[in-house]
């Protein structure tokens, strides 16, 4: 049986054999505290740090750290961008069978540029991490369309 990350009640990832269990509340909640927990959980699962999220949001790392620690606020656009990224990341995790190691590899892999044949990823010639850092919410929309097309087929391909 393959090793996967199991999530504790606190939302911490731990290695182990997959077991049926409930999902932490923050997976489905839309609160600001849940959003903070989602950022922390994605940091562990996708192997991205707070610098990634600050670049993705186009904000100063210290301001992001203050928000994560509950000492600062996040602009509405920032909250919306993180919620969109969370939903897309869940699609990506589902597509990769919730294998954190595969997600981490995907974030660091740079497919060759110039291959426009579907289902070519939208970040060709770059890493997914760099693509998201540079493109922010618009890059998430492109990533979401790509993942959704792989999972369910592209309704616009005909």
The yes-or-no verdict on residue 135 having pLDDT over 80 is yes
Inter-CA distances, 125 with 89, 103, 110, 113, 147, Å: 21, 18, 6, 4, 18
For the chain, what is the domain count? 1
Which structural domain, as residue segments, surrounds residue 132?
30-152
Whether 7 is covered by a domain: the verdict is no
pLDDT at position 153, please?
75
Among residues of the chain, what percentage have pLDDT more than 70? 80
124: left (phi over 0), alpha (psi -120 to 50) or beta: beta
Whether 11 is covered by a domain: the verdict is no
Helix (H) or strand (E) holding 3: strand 3-7
Q: Which tens digit of pLDDT belongs to each residue from 52-67?
A: 999 999 999 999 999 9
Across 90-94, 100-104, 150-154, least confident range: 150-154
Whether 83 is covered by a domain: the verdict is yes
φ/ψ of residue 13, rounded to 5: -85, 140
Omega prior to 131 cis, within 30 of 0: no
pLDDT at position 112, please?
83
The yes-or-no verdict on residue 19 having pLDDT over 60 is no
**Nearest of 29, 26, 22, 25 to residue 6 by alpha carbon:** 22
Question: Average model confidence (pLDDT) for the chain?
Answer: 84
């Amino acid at each position: 049986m393959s090793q996967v990350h199991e999530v504790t009640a606190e939302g911490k990832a731990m290695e182990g054999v997959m077991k049926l269990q409930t999902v932490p509340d923050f997976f489905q909640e839309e609160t600001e505290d849940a959003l903070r927990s989602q950022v922390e959980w994605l940091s562990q699962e996708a192997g991205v740090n707070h610098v990634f999220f600050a670049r993705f949001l186009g904000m100063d790392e210290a301001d992001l750290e203050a928000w994560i620690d509950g000492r600062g606020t996040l602009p509405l656009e920032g909250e919306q961008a993180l919620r969109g990224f969370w939903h897309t990341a869940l699609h990506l995790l589902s597509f990769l069978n919730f294998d954190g190691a595969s997600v981490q590899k995907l974030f660091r892999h740079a497919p060759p540029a110039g291959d426009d044949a579907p289902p070519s990823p939208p970040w060709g010639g770059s890493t997914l991490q760099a693509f998201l850092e540079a493109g922010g919410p618009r890059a998430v929309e492109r990533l979401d369309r790509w993942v959704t097309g792989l999972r369910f087929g592209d309704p616009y391909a005909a």
